[in-house]
Amino acid sequence: MSKKFSESKYLRWGILILVGFILSVNYYFYDAFSTLKELLVQEFSFSNTQYGLFVAFYSIPNTFLLMAVIGGVILDKLGIRRTGFMFIFFMAFGAVLTAYGASDLYQDGLGYGLMSSFLPNYSPELKMMLLGRFFYGLGAETSIVVISKILVKWFKGKDLALAFGLKVAFGRLGTFAALNLSPVLANGGKTLDTAVWLAGILVCVGLLAFIVYMLFDIKYDKEVNEKQVLLTEKDKFKFSDVWDILTNRAYIFIALLCVTFYSAVFPFVAFAPDFFTNKFGLSDVVSGRITSLLPLGTMIFTPVFGALIDRLGRAASVMTFGSLVLLIVHLTFALTNFPPYVPMILLGISFSLVPAAMWPTMVKLVDEKQIGTAYGLMYSIQNLGLWGFPIIAGFILDKTNPGNPETLNYTYTILMFAALGFLGLFFGYMLKRNDKKYGLGVDQPLNKK
């Protein structure tokens, strides 16, 4: 370690590993239920639309209550430690509540009678899981905003895109583990409790990891403050800064690309194992492994692309190309019987290109005092899609498969995701065009001073 704590290269990468673990358990819990869809349908009589509602409930606090925006503003006003602990606690509380609702303990336990007393068309298990999903989503998105600001704090001007690429890789590691472990742990429904409780407990361990980070953050701030590198009144966040962000041309195109791109990926992953089972006749375990090729690809490629963007730039071009690959993959799934292995690897490459370019580019577009708010706004806009499109996907699936057939036809559902991919491609093209026309700075190397 170097003599200066805040400038230690080894400590900086250690911090990345620590907060990367928090992100991993966040994504593990989000995706742990994807390969359990059929078991949830059998165990609790969920419909496809209700399963889509469960997936979508994560985004309600960030879409309709604007909690990711509010969390970003709180982050800029109160700082990393207080904001991070508050929202990661919400995330852990929601994860435990969701796991409780899906476990055997709940059926004879606290809250079951209350949840049985209203909305009889929805099972008590679903209602408790929706409540847990709400609190989990309330904390999870802002926790990602907090982690993003932590990386800006420790890595600005020092391989920031690589750090963000590795951050994405940690998230995908969580998804990869969930898609492979959950169906094995559930064992065809015999040990469903084990699968859901492991997911909940991991998020609680993530809360403990953030408490450890807080100790390092206190020492970092103490050293920096001793060097008198403090924000002036002019530098501090003001609510009028929100307007400055929303009138930034490049920010708007990136936000629109964000909501369409992620809406074509995350909701698809939530249905993908079931899609592969129905279209290709694969088992739950094999379908989960194929779906896990997506996060496996992103773990490998996102840091590589991030390092290249640090040095070469071309972020707008990278986002446009990644959106094109996404469109091709969904059209392949919808209109052909091509085996799913290669398209999922290509989807992983697409899902590496766009995030590797999108998230670190923010430091080129907004002042550091606005970083938390800018990321919060982006995540709230993103969550609008993550709320709506899982419900739409489930609704399309029910309407195009009347009578509960043994094999579901996913064609129209996947075409919806392809349409989102096309919109993402359009917004990426507009970003690149405007960057060239107005010199927005999106294609500049991130390490350029």
Give residue-wise pLDDT tens across range 240-288.
Answer: 667 778 888 888 999 999 999 999 998 998 899 889 999 999 888 898 8
User: Whole-prediction pTM value?
Assistant: 0.77
For the chain, what's the residue count?
Answer: 449
The answer to whether residue 413 sits within a structural domain is yes
The answer to whether residue 1 sits within a structural domain is no
Domain range for 332 is 19-225+235-438
CATH of the domain at 338: 1.20.1250.20
Contact present, 237 and 69 (Cβ < 8 Å): no
Task: Tell me: pLDDT of 424 over 90.
Answer: yes
For range 374-392, the mean pLDDT: 88
* Structural domains of the chain, count: 1
The answer to whether residue 4 sits within a structural domain is no
pLDDT digits (tens, 9 = 90+) for 59-118: 888 878 878 788 888 888 888 999 999 999 999 999 999 999 888 888 778 888 888 888
The answer to whether residue 159 sits within a structural domain is yes
pLDDT at 415: 96
The answer to whether residue 447 sits within a structural domain is no
Residue 42 φ/ψ region, left for φ over 0, alpha for ψ in the -120 to 50 degree band, beta for the rest: alpha
pLDDT at 89: 97
The answer to whether residue 392 sits within a structural domain is yes
| Phi–psi pair at 168, nearest 5 degrees | -60, -40
